[in-house]
Amino acid sequence: MNVFEQRPWLKSYPKGIPANIDADQYETLVDLFEETFAKYKNQPAFSNMGKTITFAQLDKMSRNFGAYLHSRGLNPGDKIALMMPNMLQYPIALFGALRAGLVVVNTNPLYTPREMHHQFTDSGAKAIIIAENFAANLEKILPDTSIKTIILTSIGEMLGLKGVLVNFVVRRIKKMVPKYKLPNVVSFKEAISQGKKFELPEFEGCAEDTISLQYTGGTTGVAKGAMLTNRNLVANMAQIRAIVRPFIKDGEVALSPLPLYHIFAFSVNCLALLSMGAHNVLITNPRDLKTVIAAFKAYPISMMTGVNTLFNALNNHPDFPNLDFSHLKITIGGGTAVQRAVAEKWKQITGCTLSEGYGMTEASPVITCNPLDGSARLGSIGLPVPSTDVRVVNEAGEVVGLDEAGEIQCKGPQVMKGYYNRPEATAETIKDGWLCTGDIGKMDKEGFFYIVDRKKDMILVSGFNVYPNEIEDVLAMHPKVMESAVIGVPDEKSGEVVKAFVVKKDQSLTKDELINFAREHLTGYKIPKHVEFLKELPKSNVGKILRRVLRERG
């Protein structure tokens, strides 16, 4: 028996955390929702911009929304894209879609038309719920997709009278809604209202049904849909719940600044904490730190999830140290490495330990998490969650020993079914049931894991994966570019930013011209922040660009 099979991490679990969870306690996520809505019906479920909905209201509105979707001819197994920031519409749409038996395709609202085009055509989405701010981008690619049902919403739509003012500011003053023309559009509230006229049939779902296509770049940079099943998401919900339950009671307040379309907040806040009757306070734009600080003033927040960049920004905001943190019991950082200095300052200011976790979209996503009893280890990604095996292997696939570096692999009920329509990529990523993370790490004798090196080429910008191949493909489209190579360079604010090394085809090419070109085709965090022009790129004897040499150059 190797050292990993002994599961030494179990001895380091805080009291009250089980070695295993029951991944089959609910056949479907919908079964979990039904129980949760009934149990906590009169309690607040979600708040956004001062407006709150209860579990009973969420139950009723999501059922009506699901009935509307069904009335539009959408059948179980059909794909529906959700494209909006954190707002009350998101959980209503999510639970309504799942109740109608649909497969949810979470979509980053900041995507460019090119990125949207790939995700919608690859998934075969037939419907979309989209915030009006991004409707102009949908218009550009709609004819190439299978989308026939378009439900449009605004940031203020569910906020009552306040929403009128919010929409006026967004549309007229900040001019955040470009002109668009879309066919047969229905508003979100109209969809809920129309849904009251219809019955939503009870759809028989099963544990192995894919209910979410969560897109991830993968090592090639081509976005692939991770097929997450009912069982995957029920399991990760139960794993997260098992970790936090000893430390918070049911019905406490959780701050949700991370977008729910991101798998981290989706599973932790929208599923696990919701299942404990938590009151999730949604932040629409976490870059607006005033709204995060206002939430701390307005609610007795006992738990918060976030990424390193957000914690760092709050640490350095003059008003943050003056807040009341007496309720704050748990802070979890994920998406990217939490820097030691940031974690230490967070503890100093709030009195609450910032515990780092680790995961992958392909694992629904949580694989490991630091203990929440104050024994978290800075620099460590923590202990495997219940019912999860983790091991470290060398390049030959052989299991290594304690404190030896190798690729981290994991196995558990949260590991995806595979990539949608990509059996070869699935076979490369899941071998004999083990998910190959591509991350280099090691384990100490207490079972704590440490990342030694990220996937060598992947760039992590504020918790989002950026793959050099995708950026290089876009830069190659510029007529004045001969060739390019992209790396990540350290950045105080976002952990890393993109740097492009470019060989010119036309000497008139400028840095600004190239960045403006990239802005047309890439989401903001993928756009190169630094551009360096070279006469030639370093290459191996077979012509492969040596990013390692460029990283040494910086």
Is position 440 within any domain?
no
What is the domain-level CATH number for residue 152? 3.40.50.980
Structural domain contains residue 542: yes
Task: Give the CATH number of the domain where residue 501 resides.
Answer: 3.30.300.30
Sign of the C-alpha dihedral computed for residues 318, 349, 291 and 460 taken in this order: positive
How much is the mean pLDDT over the chain?
A: 94
pLDDT band at 218, cuts 50/70/90?
A: very low
In a domain, 236, yes or no: no
- What pLDDT is recorded for position 351? 97
Helix (H, G, I), strand (E, B) or coil at 369: strand
Looking at residue 482, its amino acid is M
The residue among 267, 213, 274, 276 whose CA lies nearest residue 237 is 267
Does residue 128 contact residue 83 with C-beta atoms inside 8 Å?
A: yes
> Does a structural domain hold residue 122?
yes
Q: Are 239 and 385 in contact (CB under 8 A)?
A: yes
Nearest to 104 by CA among 204, 194, 29: 29
Domain that holds residue 528: 459-553
CB 132 within 8 A of CB 152: yes
Domain boundary residue, one of 204, 224, 252: 204
Q: Which of 204, 231, 259 is a domain's end point?
A: 204
The DSSP-derived string for 73-118 is T--TT-EEEEE--SSTHHHHHHHHHHHTTPEEEE--TT--HHHHHH
The string over 432-454, giving b where at least 16 C-beta atoms fall within 10 Å of a residue's C-beta and e elsewhere, is eebbbbbbbbbbeeebbbbbeeb
* Closest alpha carbon to 305 in 361, 260, 239: 260
CA–CA gap between residue 132 and residue 181 (Å, rounded): 11
C-alpha–C-alpha distance, residues 245 and 43, integer Å: 18
Instruction: Judge whether 372 lies within some domain.
Output: no
Q: Is residue 225 part of a domain?
A: no
pLDDT tens per residue across span 252-294: 999 999 999 999 999 999 999 999 999 999 999 998 999 999 9
Residues 189 and 153: their CA atoms lie apart, in Å, by 8
Residue 64 is assigned to a structural domain of this protein: yes
Q: How many domains does the chain have?
A: 2
Residue 55 dihedral angles phi and psi, to the nearest 5°: -65, -35
pLDDT in tens, 131-142: 999 999 999 999
Q: Which sign, positive or negative, has the C-alpha torsion 4, 20, 249, 288?
A: positive
Q: pLDDT per residue over 346-395, tens digit each?
A: 999 999 999 999 999 999 999 999 999 999 998 899 999 999 999 999 98
Count other Cβ atoms within 10 Å, centred on residue 548: 13
Question: Of 166, 184, 204, which residue constitutes the final position of a domain?
Answer: 204
Q: Is the backbone of residue 351 left (phi > 0), alpha (psi -120 to 50) or beta?
A: left
Residue 201, preceding bond cis, omega within 30 degrees?
A: no
Residue 355 lies in a domain: no
CA angle 392, 393, 396 (to 5 degrees): 175
pLDDT score of 309: 82
DSSP string for residues in 319-350: TGGGS--TT--EEEE-SSPPPHHHHHHHHHHH
Q: What band does 340 get if pLDDT is binned at 50, 70 and 90?
A: confident
Q: Is the pLDDT of residue 454 over 80?
A: no
User: What are the backbone dihedrals phi and psi of residue 260, each rounded to the nearest 5 degrees, phi first?
Assistant: -65, -20
Helix, strand, coil proportions of the chain in percent (round to 5)? Answer: 35, 25, 40
Give the distance from CA 244 to its chain's centroid.
19
Please check the confidence at residue 43 and state whether its pLDDT lies above 80. Answer: yes
In total, the chain counts a number of residues equal to: 554
66 Cα distance to chain centroid? 24
Helix (H) or strand (E) holding 500: strand 495-504
Task: For residue range 54-65, list pLDDT tens digits in order.
Answer: 999 999 999 999
Read off the pLDDT band of 217 (50, 70, 90).
low
Identity of the amino acid at 171: R
Using the structure block, give the residue that is written with the tokens 């022009």: 533
The C-alpha atoms of residue 44 and residue 183 are separated, in whole angstroms, by: 36
